[in-house]
């Protein structure tokens, strides 16, 4: 009688162990990938929340803050509306975020000479950040008293900056303020805290 059935070859014990090990590694690898993706999503969500609500990141567009800030630089803003004279602040204006320097606080009296010398409460303002003084685009009358809960701001490039000297922008209300600039991120060669 002929045997038409084929013999089944059973795998060796070592082959079974290797196959089990490979399957466990595949499962562990999938688990690591899945957990890594979840971790990256959580980190990204936290980064977005921090950047939106605590430390907004802005890119400088324009030249009104030169030489302090240049076109294309990236800065970090600390969310606050508690500003001091000399602070660089970001504020909302006409669906844009503008950056200027705080010159006058609520209640301050601002005057400006035709040559661009600024006085606050009768004292000449020390402005080492300026390359040159200029009266610029000014259509307000001096002396100017800053209204309560508002700030008088100016760009560092006085000749071309449109700021609180012009009624187009005027003084900045506290509720317009995004925050104070505190860190220059980009370019990396200029990475520094902003005074």
164 is a catalytic site residue: no
Tokens 């900045």 appear where?
172
Task: Considering the candidates 36, 64, 94, 164, report the single residue annotated as catalytic.
Answer: 64
Task: Considering the candidates 26, 100, 164, 192, report the single residue annotated as catalytic.
Answer: 100
d(CA 52, CA 112): 37
Q: Got the DSSP string for 130-174? A: -SS----S--S-SSEEPPTTEEEEE-SSTTT--STTSTTT-SEEG
> Which residues have CB under 8 Å from 127's CB, separation 6+?
118, 133
For 105, phi and psi rounded to 5 degrees? -95, 170
The torsion defined by the Cα of 48, 50, 52 and 54, in degrees rounded to 10, comes to -170
| Residue 144 in tokens | 């100017």
100 is a catalytic site residue: yes
Active site residues: 64, 100
């Amino acid at each position: 009688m002929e045997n038409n059935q084929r013999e089944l070859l059973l795998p060796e014990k070592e082959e079974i162990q290797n196959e089990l090990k490979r399957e466990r590694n595949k499962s562990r690898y999938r688990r690591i990938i899945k957990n890594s993706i979840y971790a990256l999503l959580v980190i990204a969500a936290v980064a977005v929340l921090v950047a939106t609500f605590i430390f907004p990141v802005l890119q400088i567009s324009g030249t009104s803050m030169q030489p302090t800030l240049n076109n294309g630089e990236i800065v970090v803003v600390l969310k606050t509306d508690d500003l001091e004279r000399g602070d660089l602040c970001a504020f909302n204006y006409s669906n844009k975020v503008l950056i200027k320097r705080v010159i006058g606080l609520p209640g301050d009296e601002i005057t400006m000479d035709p040559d661009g010398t600024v006085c606050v409460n009768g004292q000449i303002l020390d402005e080492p950040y300026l390359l040159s003084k200029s009266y610029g685009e000014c259509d307000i009358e001096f002396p100017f008293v800053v209204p309560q809960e508002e700030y008088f701001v100016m760009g560092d490039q006085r000749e071309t900056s449109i700021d609180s000297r012009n009624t187009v922008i005027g003084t900045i209300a506290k509720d317009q303020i995004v925050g104070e600039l505190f860190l220059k991120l980009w370019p990396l060669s200029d990475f520094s805290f902003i005074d």
